[in-house]
Each structure stands twice: as C-alpha cells, then as structure tokens.
Amino acid sequence: MISGLLIMGGLGILCGAGLALASKIFYVYVDPKVEAVTGALPGANCGGCGKPGCGANAEAIVKGKASPSSCVAGGPDIAAEIAAIMGVKLEAREPDIARPGCTYGTQDADLKYIYDGVMDCRAAALLGGGSKVCPIGCLGLGTCVRACPFNALSMGPDYLPVVNVERCTGCGTCERVCPKGIITLTSNTRRIQAEYTTDECTAPCQRACPAGIDIPAYILAIREKKFGEAVRIIKETNPFPLVCGRICVHPCEFDCRRNLVDNSVAINPLKRFVADYEMNSGQRIHVPRGPETGKRIAVIGGGAEGLTAAYYLNRLGHESTVYEGTERLGGLLHTGLPENRLPRQTLEWEINGILDAGVKANLNQKLGKDFTIESLLKEGNSAVFVATGGWDTRMSEKDGDSKMLPGVQLLVDFLLKHREGAKQAAGRNVMILGGGKAALDAARLSLQTGSQKVYLVLRKSKERSGYSDEEIMSAEKESVVFFFESAMTKMLGRGGDLTQVSIRSSRADGQGEVILDVDTLMIGTGRFPELIYIPRMEEQGKEGWETVAPYPGPFAMEDIGIFRPGEAGSDYKAVVEAIGAGRRAANSVHRFLTGLDMNAPSTMIRKATRVLTLDKLEPVSTIPRQEMPELSPEDRIGDPSAEIALGFSEEQAVKEACRCLQCGLICYSRLQRIEHSAKAHSA
C-alpha cells in the first residue's frame, strides 16, 4: 500500500512538474487590456463589428485597428467603458438600424410556385431564387428573425420582417443571413448618401427623380397624415421642397406607374403640400445631423447646387460655408422666376432653413477678387467645392482676366483677345478641352504666340471629331498633340498656379492615366463643371492642391473625366438636377474625407440601366387626379404678383396620396387596398 501511495505521489509530482514546464514552454501572453476589453464587451458574438467575435474585436481595439465604439451591440455606455480602459477619447458614432426593403409579402406578390420545403430563406432561395416572380423579393420564411441575436425582428402579418427599433443594435446579422439582400443597415448619413441600385426595390417615380427622393415613402406618410415625416423623407435628398414643389419639371410624374391606369399621381403638388405645411407651422424640420467631424468645407456659389451641397455637408457632420459673389443666396431662383410662380418670401424661408441648419454664408465674396481657391485651402478648409452653374459668363466678366480658377481660362476669351490685337501666349504648356474649329484655331494661335506645348483633348474619336485628315496632319506638323477619346480627370497645382493635368482614354484598349505638365487649361463653351479642390502634400513637403470630380450621377452618359456630357454639371435643365448634383458633390467630399470609396455603387441605376418593370396593370380602379386650386382670373388681374397655384388642401392631399400605388419593382397596391384607403380618407 505504501509503495502504491509512493508511486501515485511520484506520478502526481511528475505530472505537476510536466504541466508547470509545459505552461512555461507554451505560455501565451494575454494583454491585460485585451482581457479587460473582452470583459467589457457584451459577449453577444454577433459579428456586427465585422470581426468573428467579441474576443477578436477586443484584440483589434487594443491594437488600434478598431474603434472603442466599434461594438454595435454594446451601445454608448460600453463604448465609454472601453474608451476609459484604452485611455482614449470616444469618437461619436451614428447608430445604424436594420431596414427591410421589401413591401409586398408572399401573399400580395406574384409567385412562380408554392414553396413547401425547409422553413429557411436560404434553402428556399436555392430553388430558382425563391418562389416570388420578383427577383429581389422577401421570401418571408423569417431566417433573419431567427438569426437576430437581440430579438429585434418579428414577422408581420404580411410575412415581412418588422424591426423593433428600440431593440435593434445595428449589428447587421440580419443583413448577413438574408439570401436576398432584403435587409440593409441604414442611418441618416447612409440615407443622404444613398443611390438607387439594381439590388433594391425601387418605384419608377423615384428612379426618375434627379434628386433621388424616396417618393413612395413620402406619399405613404401623407396618406397616414404624418406630414412632418414626409418633409423629413424629402429633405434626406432635397433641401428645397418649397421651391421644387412649385417649379420642378417633375420627370417623376411622367414615369409614374399610375399613367398606365389614368393619370400620374400629383407627386409634385403633394411635395408642395407638405413643404407648405412645414412653412405654415413655423417649425423647421431637418434631417438629423451626423457626428461632428471637425472638418471645414468651403462651397463657392450660393445657388441651388451650392446651397444643397452645403446643407448635406453640414448634415454629414462638417462645417460648411458658402461663398456667394452677390448680396443674396439663391442664384437664378431669385432672378429667373416670376413672383407669381415662386414668391420671394417662400424662397427666402427655404434658404433661411438651410442657414438655420448651421450652414454659414459669406455674401459679396467674389472668387478671384476677395478670395482664391488657394486662400480657402490655406485657411484650413479640408476641401473647396466649386458649385459652378453659369461660371462661364462670370469668368469672362472679370476685367479681361478670366483665370478665376487656377490656370483655367475660357477659349472664347483667348480668341477674342487675339482678335482685339493682344498677342501674348496663353501659357507655356496649354491644354485645350473640346473639339471644333475654334479649339483648333486656339491651338494654332497658342503655338504661334509662344506656347511650347499644346494638347488638344477630345472625347470624340478621330473619325467623329469633325476634323479632316489634312487638318489633323497639318496641326500635328505645327506640334499640336491630339488626344482623341480622352477626358481630363484631374488638375494638380500649387498656390495660384496649375502645374499638371491628368487625362485618361475612354477606350477599353486605351492607355491609362497620363499626367502632363500643363499651366493653362482652356475650356470651350458650356458651363464649367463642378470640381472639388483638396490639399495635396508634394515632394519636399511643399503644399499643393489637386481636384477630384464628384462621382457621376445616374444621368451622366459617361463615367470618366470631369466634363461628363449629359449630367447636371454641364447641362442644367432644371433646379432639381442642380439639387441632385449638389447632394452628390457633398457625398463625394464626405467620402473623400472619411476615406471611403469615391465611386458610385457599381450597381447604381443609370438612365440606360434596364430595370424590371411593368407595362400593364390590373386590377386597379381609376380615381381622378386632384386638381390644383388656382387664383381666379379676377384676382390675378388685381394682383399680378400673387401666387397663381394655391396648393392642395389637407383633404385633397390625403385623397391624392391614396391614388399612389405604392409601387415596388413589379409589385403594386391592388384594387381592394386602393378602394379601402380612398374610402377611409374620404370618410
């Protein structure tokens, strides 16, 4: 027995020594901070931080690769606790909320077959993408609901997920498990930056809106008498509902699906109704502002585009200041429209709303005279956005020196000066953008008056340039260098000087980016495009600047280059296009400053994108469109400046909102629902 005890004791000592040795050999150091942060994290392992679990996120936080507020499930208290452990200041974080993007459940949507398999959306999606005809419709089997670690989702009576916003932490689990991409995370910042894509359910009207307003959503809010909510939805993409509600050319109404039944929904008068509601209430409704970024942005130009850009830059958390050359904001909105269409008081209330949101304005400040791009960058602005509508005329007005933007001048000014006898060279290295005989004349004149290099950059091919082979050969002999099917993509400079220009071929087999030494850029007729100037650190620590172009909007016909034909920047047809361009410019600046991809989503719906839609509807009852009440002819004579269109009454607005079919990609509200709603509201 004693020997047995000795053997057991010896074995115990041996094992203990072995374990002690192993713990020394295989010792892994665990940073006490990682342990402390892991302890502070909620342990949900939801993956919302983008890491495989709480432990991995704790390590990332301690290594400085993730923010103390990266845990979406933890909320502000846990973020503050982690920041205290890390000894860092907590940066503000905007909460994300899950938003289902399908509005017609399996009982209301067209089906290809009846699914009777495993109750899991991922399994159902394997059968031809699911039972719905709509390729992006919710399958209604609730995989997202079961996956949500915070019990924030439930299935509604229409077999669509419903989000409990109080419980949703924005962890994104639902987004990740949904095989159809129905649920996405959203926030005010994300909604301001949104572009419609082929992956989501969109109505024909909203796809046609140059500002990108979520039209069905605001009409639904009007139907439910949530007028303030309707204003907020509109202002997510358009800060001018009073103006647009009066003067917009409303391309949305031409594309309204209701045209297949009777007449389009009065989309624009409905917008005006809620905008008037806001004005008459005297209470400003704003899109909530994102976390403060501490960045300052200058916007040159106080027209619709500049004010829109400044408003969204402010809402995205930046400090934005508008520099306007005249004594008032609003640009052509003030001068181009009669009082009886757009009363000045109404316009001013809308503009004051933008200032009320926090946008600053410096009036009577002229570019090139009172300030320059260089001075704005030196003052600490992180970016300068040139909202340029109509700059061509203003540039040429400036006492014979049209170089208000560094190195840029109008081709027409150069030719006129020469016709008047001036013989000085345009510059040492000149680039001329655009074709035509005038461009070729300017190229030759530049060389004759001392320029050393002249580049002629055309979007068109050699064959479609309008130049004969002889003209091209002759110009080339004079040292003009042609770049066909090419576009300017960037300007680079220092102080008040342009130093380089980069161009890129639009041909698939073309050369990539080419950077040329250029000190003078001549542009042809047309409006100068929008440009964002940003600071650039050159070699040897010298400060310079470069330009970035806002990402091309849905109406741009070409993707590359700064002068993109067909989009608002070069061809304003309506104020709503300027508004759309202003929001996209603000988004581009924000993306640049926050290190996000500057490009539009690859699936963004463009004018030429083919989107699944309908060419006939049934069964939908006809309902007459509400007529806009107008001032009587006698009253018009009595007061010619009085506003002619008087706006819908509340009763009219709600009735008209009930005409909306609440369209999805191919779904829409059917007969019963329309009649029910119309009756409910006419009661």
Give the residue ranges of DSSP H helices in 449-574: 469-477
Which of these segments, 91-99, 178-186, 461-469, 523-531, binds ligand SF4 (CB under 6 A)? 178-186
Distance CA 102, CA 159 (A): 10
Per CB under 6 A, 203 contacts ligand SF4: yes
Per CB under 6 A, 202 contacts ligand SF4: no
For residue 55, the one-letter residue type is: G
DSSP class of 325: S
Per CB under 6 A, 141 contacts ligand SF4: yes
Per CB under 6 A, 586 contacts ligand SF4: no
Structural element, H or E, at residue 274: helix 267-281
DSSP class of 594: T
Q: Specify whether the CB–CB gap between 568 and 198 falls below 8 A.
A: no
Least Å from the CB of residue 146 to ligand SF4: 9
Least Å from the CB of residue 206 to ligand SF4: 7
CA angle at 174 for the pair 173 and 176, rounded to the nearest 5°: 65
Per CB under 6 A, 208 contacts ligand SF4: no
Select the residue interacting with ligand SF4 from 73, 183, 313, 518 (CB under 6 A).
183
Q: Which is nearer to ligand SF4, 142 or 301 (CB)?
A: 142
Per CB under 6 A, 548 contacts ligand SF4: no
Select the residue interacting with ligand SF4 from 180, 296, 394, 584 (CB under 6 A).
180
Which of these segments, 24-32, 177-185, 469-477, 522-530, binds ligand SF4 (CB under 6 A)? 177-185
- The token duo for 395 is 């540039």
Least Å from the CB of residue 202 to ligand SF4: 9
Q: What are phi and psi of 487, to 5 degrees?
A: -140, 150
Q: Which is nearer to ligand SF4, 44 or 144 (CB)?
A: 144
Q: Specify whether the CB–CB gap between 361 and 348 falls below 8 A.
A: no
Least Å from the CB of residue 255 to ligand SF4: 7
For residue 175, the one-letter residue type is: E
The DSSP string of 367-432 is BTTTB-HHHHHHTT-SEEEE--TTHHHHHHTSTT----STTEEEHHHHHHHHHTT----S-SEEEE
Structural element, H or E, at residue 155: strand 153-155
Least Å from the CB of residue 238 to ligand SF4: 16
Per CB under 6 A, 209 contacts ligand SF4: no
Distance CA 173, CA 464 (A): 53
Which of these segments, 9-17, 75-83, 134-142, 231-239, binds ligand SF4 (CB under 6 A)? 134-142
Q: What are phi and psi of 384, to 5 degrees?
A: -125, 120
Q: Which is nearer to ligand SF4, 62 or 623 (CB)?
A: 623
Q: How many CA atoms lie within 13 A of 258 on its CB side?
A: 26
Q: Which is nearer to ligand SF4, 70 or 103 (CB)?
A: 103
Q: Which is nearer to ligand SF4, 254 or 422 (CB)?
A: 254
Encoded one letter per residue, x for contact with ligand SF4 by CB under 6 A and - for no contact, window 70-109 reads ------------------------------x---------
Which of these segments, 138-146, 353-361, 371-379, 635-643, binds ligand SF4 (CB under 6 A)? 138-146
Three-class DSSP category at 327: coil
Select the residue interacting with ligand SF4 from 171, 217, 267, 568 (CB under 6 A).
267
* Beta-sheet pairing, 513-517 with 520-523: unpaired
Nearest to 534 by CA among 598, 480, 581, 486: 598
> Restricting to residues 243-262, which ones interact with ligand SF4 according to CB under 6 A?
256-258
Which of these segments, 139-147, 238-246, 398-406, 568-576, binds ligand SF4 (CB under 6 A)? 139-147
Give the residue ranges of DSSP H helices in 184-262: 188-192, 204-208, 215-223, 227-235, 241-247, 251-255
Per CB under 6 A, 143 contacts ligand SF4: yes
Select the residue interacting with ligand SF4 from 163, 178, 333, 575 (CB under 6 A).
178
Which of these segments, 44-52, 53-61, 173-181, 541-549, binds ligand SF4 (CB under 6 A)? 173-181
Q: Specify whether the CB–CB gap between 205 and 253 falls below 8 A.
A: yes
Place of tokens 């008068």: 269
Quote the strand ranges of 484-616, DSSP E: 486-494, 497-505, 513-517, 520-523, 531-537, 543-548
Which of these segments, 200-208, 446-454, 507-515, 634-642, binds ligand SF4 (CB under 6 A)? 200-208
Least Å from the CB of residue 249 to ligand SF4: 16
Select the residue interacting with ligand SF4 from 209, 215, 279, 586 (CB under 6 A).
215
Per CB under 6 A, 666 contacts ligand SF4: no
Number of residues that bind ligand SF4 (CB under 6 A): 30
Q: Specify whether the CB–CB gap between 564 and 529 falls below 8 A.
A: yes
Which of these segments, 135-143, 499-507, 547-555, 638-646, binds ligand SF4 (CB under 6 A)? 135-143
Per CB under 6 A, 268 contacts ligand SF4: no
Where does this chain bind ligand SF4 (CB under 6 A)?
Answer: 100, 121, 138-144, 161, 177-178, 180, 182-183, 203-205, 215-216, 219, 256-258, 265, 267, 660-663
